[in-house]
Amino acid sequence: MPKTLPDFDLEHYLPYRFTVLAARLSAELAKSYKNDFGISMPEWRVLLNVGYSENPSIRDIERRVSLEKSKVSRAAAKLEAKGFITKQTDNSDRRLLKLALTKQGAELLSALIPIARSFQAQLDEILGAHEGELQHALDLLTEKLDD
C-alpha cells in the first residue's frame, strides 16, 4: 500500500511553474535562431551575455544564466571556433577566461536581437496590461533571492 502523501498543489508551486515555463519559452525562441543561424540555446545565452556585458568570464556567465560550467565552456568553445567570440586570460586572475565579441559575433547578434524583440513583443501582447505587473513581481523575487 503506498504511503499517503501530504496535500500539495504542484500546478501552483511557483518554482515548478517557472521551470516549466522557462523551458517552454526558451525552446520556442530557440526554434528561430537554431533553424536560421545554427546556434544552440547555450550558445545564444553565451553570445547574448558576451555582447551585453563587459568582458564576462565563463564563471560570470555560468552564474548569470544558471547553466553548468561545462555547458557554458562548450558553448563558448563552439562560438570561438565559429569566429563569433574570442577568449583571453584575465590579467588579474589567470584562471579566468574573459570573452569578447568579434566583428562577426556582433553582426550575428545584431541579426538575432530583432528575433528576440519580436518574441518579447508577442509575449507583451499576450500579457497585455499584466506585463508591467509581471516584471515588477519578477524584480521583487530576484531582489529578495539576491539578499
Q: Is residue 3 part of a domain?
A: no
Confidence band for 19, pLDDT divided at 50, 70 and 90: very high
Buried b or exposed e, range 36-57, using 16+ CB within 10 angstroms: eeebbbbbbbbbbbbbeeeebb
HEC secondary structure over the chain: CCCCCCCCCHHHCHHHHHHHHHHHHHHHHHHHHHHHHCCCHHHHHHHHHHHHCCCCEHHHHHHHHCCCHHHHHHHHHHHHHCCCEEEEECCCCCCCEEEEECHHHHHHHHHHHHHHHHHHHHHHHHHHHHHHHHHHHHHHHHHHHHC
Domain assignment of residue 86, yes or no: yes
CA dist., res. 126 & res. 123, Å (int):
5
Instruction: Residue 51: name the closest of 84, 83, 91 by CA.
Output: 84
8 Å CB contact between 83 and 102: yes
Residue given cell 567570440 in the structure block: 85
Q: Which domain holds residue 142?
A: 11-146
Q: Is residue 2 part of a domain?
A: no
* Prediction pTM value: 0.84
Count the domains in the chain. Answer: 1
- Which CATH number covers residue 132? 1.10.10.10
Residue 6 in domain: no
87: which strand partners?
Answer: 99
In a domain, 16, yes or no: yes
Greatest Cα pair distance, the chain, in angstroms, is 64
Each residue of 73-118: pLDDT tens digit? 999 999 999 999 999 887 777 777 889 999 999 999 999 999 999 9
pLDDT at 2 over 80: no
Residue 126 maps to a domain:
yes
- Over residues 33-59, the pLDDT tens digits come to 898 899 999 999 999 999 999 889 888
Residue range 109-137: average pLDDT? Answer: 95
